[in-house]
A and B are shown apart, each in its own frame.
Chain A
């Protein structure tokens, strides 16, 4: 197992290289000129300004030269400088990553908790009304366009009912808690600022629910199926025959096994959530990597687009790795082999 993981880790740089290359090629598919986003259409015919911009952003180089430069810098951890924020892309990404991660983690939590709950409910009431309802609710989550659902809940819970705050991570007047982890919920607790914690949690509820609902469907389906598999397992019959409470049978025996396959898809879920985050962040003005990606795409901000896409691929690799490790830790048959 250790050996296997070591190989996995060793191969990662190669994969990253492949990822970066693909993204680079993709971003140069057609030379749609980002110039207009740099100097504005007002200066497009001003030869001096245009020339200066081309020189500064390396747009005069041939694509292979740009590629070589990019890769060279990438090895040093330099993802280039964004046209629009004028900062190193890496810094932008690192600044914005905590917002996305916080949102994604909470969404994952919501998705898994509700998904497992609905899955258990459905499996225990297999083919009864409650099963159908649970699966339907879950399926709606996978079928809802996240951006639309976001608008919907904002309209209802923010604009109409006023129960929850609107877009953003905190209220406009509030000051973000001092940066420790970048997770406002965690940082506020570390600073002992309870009201900020409550505030940041309130701001998380809508976007994280919208995002999390999307994975409830996947988790429900999986948990239900594997729980049904487990229910037909001998050891469940044995546990029942031994007089264990049904709750113990389900929660301690069957669920423990049924969750193993769920762990294997957490990586997939995470990637799925990152995808959803792109849209959710846009709707909720969430200052994360997703909204950064959208902005970059709109402005043809190549360095940012490439950077964020590489980050996406990287996140995917990492989560897969973590998934494998988590699976190994959770399953004694693998852990001890």
Chain B
């Protein structure tokens, strides 16, 4: 009976899964946020750092999401927050991928004790709950968004190192690589020609999911006072201010929704990418 369910499962569609439905919405949403982050200085409705109205005013026609304890426009600040969260997340992911690629490739190609040492380092680093390690690092480097960024890179690179190493090892086991080596291909060439193209998809899928997680962790660190500091319109820091002014729910509402939208978008896209490419997520 093998064959019966198959025809239904093998449904083919015109567009790949990640360009349809929720994933498409997610992509568009991420695009909009990126656009906001880049262009907000050109059209900002208000100054994100200066009081523009009375303090703690509820949502109104003029100030859609109300004002905070300093009379700053909450919506404006939330939009400016994209200028912090998105670049930070992009930087963290790119750095983690680069570091992970280098270390993973080194471990995979060099093998032996180098591999053993590097991979134990990876194992141990991945044994920590990410937030605890990030907190420890940030606390000792000194709180601030820059140090939070460094901490997150240190937390995230092992995922990619492990991924890359696995690809290198897989590629090395192929016979055609042996012949490539035999004809004198350099490791760099093998890396570029065989390993990196193979790694492209799993890295992309993981990076998409992780992007949302980095945004979340950035906000979390700021929320507990280890990331961005006021008056910075960072989302987590804004939620802290909202917690202080608990009854003025609108202060925390917009940054919270902003985080939710970005992370949700990443999850939508990541899910769809994973399904289309059938990639296993590297979990910590």
The answer on direct contact between A and B (beta carbons under 8 Å) is: yes
Check if B132 is an interface residue, CB within 8 A of chain A: yes
Mask of A226-270 contacts with B, CB within 8 angstroms, 1/0? 000000101001000000000000000000000000000100100
Take A151-B243, A298-B225 as given contacts and tell me if A237 and B1 are in contact as well, using a CB distance cutoff of 8 Å: yes
Q: B267 to A309, Cβ gap below 8 A?
A: no
- Chain A residues contacting B266 (CB-CB under 8 Å) are 143
Q: B128 to A32, Cβ gap below 8 A?
A: no
- Chain A residues contacting B259 (CB-CB under 8 Å) are 145, 148
Report the contact-size class of chain A (Cβ under 8 Å from the partner): 35 or more
Check if B133 is an interface residue, CB within 8 A of chain A: yes
- Chain B residues contacting A297 (CB-CB under 8 Å) are 135-136, 138-139, 224, 226
Max chain B Cβ within 10 angstroms of own Cβ: one of A308, A313, A317:
A313
Q: A268 to B283, Cβ gap below 8 A?
A: yes
Check if B263 is an interface residue, CB within 8 A of chain A: yes
A52 shortest CB reach to chain B, Å: 23
Take A151-B252, A265-B283 as given contacts and tell me if A19 and B128 are in contact as well, using a CB distance cutoff of 8 Å: yes
Mask of A94-131 contacts with B, CB within 8 angstroms, 1/0? 00000000000000000000000000000000000000
- Chain A residues contacting B139 (CB-CB under 8 Å) are 27, 32, 296-298, 300, 305
A87 shortest CB reach to chain B, Å: 20
Residues of B68-113 whose CB lies within 8 A of A: none
Check if B124 is an interface residue, CB within 8 A of chain A: yes
Q: A26 to B136, Cβ gap below 8 A?
A: yes
- Chain B residues contacting A278 (CB-CB under 8 Å) are 129, 131-132, 135, 220, 224
Q: B120 to A18, Cβ gap below 8 A?
A: yes
User: Which residue of A28, A282, A293 contacts B132 across the interface (Cβ within 8 Å)?
Assistant: A293
- Chain B residues contacting A199 (CB-CB under 8 Å) are none
Check if B260 is an interface residue, CB within 8 A of chain A: yes
Check if A312 is an interface residue, CB within 8 A of chain B: yes
Take A139-B268, A140-B264, A283-B243 as given contacts and tell me if A30 and B142 are in contact as well, using a CB distance cutoff of 8 Å: yes
Task: Count B-side interface residues using an 8 Å CB cutoff.
Answer: 53
- Chain A residues contacting B136 (CB-CB under 8 Å) are 23, 26-27, 297, 305-306, 309
- Chain B residues contacting A275 (CB-CB under 8 Å) are 129-132
B140 shortest CB reach to chain A, Å: 5
Mask of B137-173 contacts with A, CB within 8 angstroms, 1/0? 1111110000000000010000000000000000000
In the bound complex, CA of A23 to CA of B264 (Å) = 32
Main secondary structure of the interface of A (DSSP, over half): helix
- Chain A residues contacting B42 (CB-CB under 8 Å) are none
Check if B247 is an interface residue, CB within 8 A of chain A: yes
In the bound complex, CA of A126 to CA of B124 (Å) = 39
Q: B132 to A145, Cβ gap below 8 A?
A: no
Take A297-B135, A309-B133 as given contacts and tell me if A139 and B267 are in contact as well, using a CB distance cutoff of 8 Å: yes
- Chain A residues contacting B216 (CB-CB under 8 Å) are 143, 145
User: Which chain B residue lies CB-closest to A148?
Assistant: B256
- Chain A residues contacting B284 (CB-CB under 8 Å) are 268, 271
User: Which residue of B133, B223, B267 contacts A142 across the interface (Cβ within 8 Å)?
Assistant: B267
Mask of B215-257 contacts with A, CB within 8 angstroms, 1/0? 0100110011110000000001001001100110100100110
Check if A176 is an interface residue, CB within 8 A of chain B: no
A27-B136, A148-B239, A312-B133 given; name 8 further pairs at CB < 8 Å.
A143-B216, A145-B219, A145-B236, A146-B220, A159-B247, A297-B226, A306-B136, A312-B129
Instruction: Rank and list the top 4 A-B pairs by shortest CB-CB distance, nearest first.
Output: A148-B256, A297-B139, A143-B263, A143-B264
User: A interface vs B, CB < 8 Å?
Assistant: 15, 18-19, 22-23, 26-30, 32, 136, 139-140, 142-149, 151-152, 154-155, 159, 217, 221, 232, 234, 237, 265, 268, 271-272, 274-275, 278-279, 282-283, 293-294, 296-298, 300, 302, 305-306, 308-309, 312-313, 315-317
Some 15 contacts from A to B, beta carbons below 8 A apart, are A26-B137, A28-B140, A30-B142, A32-B142, A139-B271, A140-B260, A140-B264, A142-B267, A145-B223, A145-B256, A147-B223, A217-B267, A279-B220, A282-B224, A312-B133
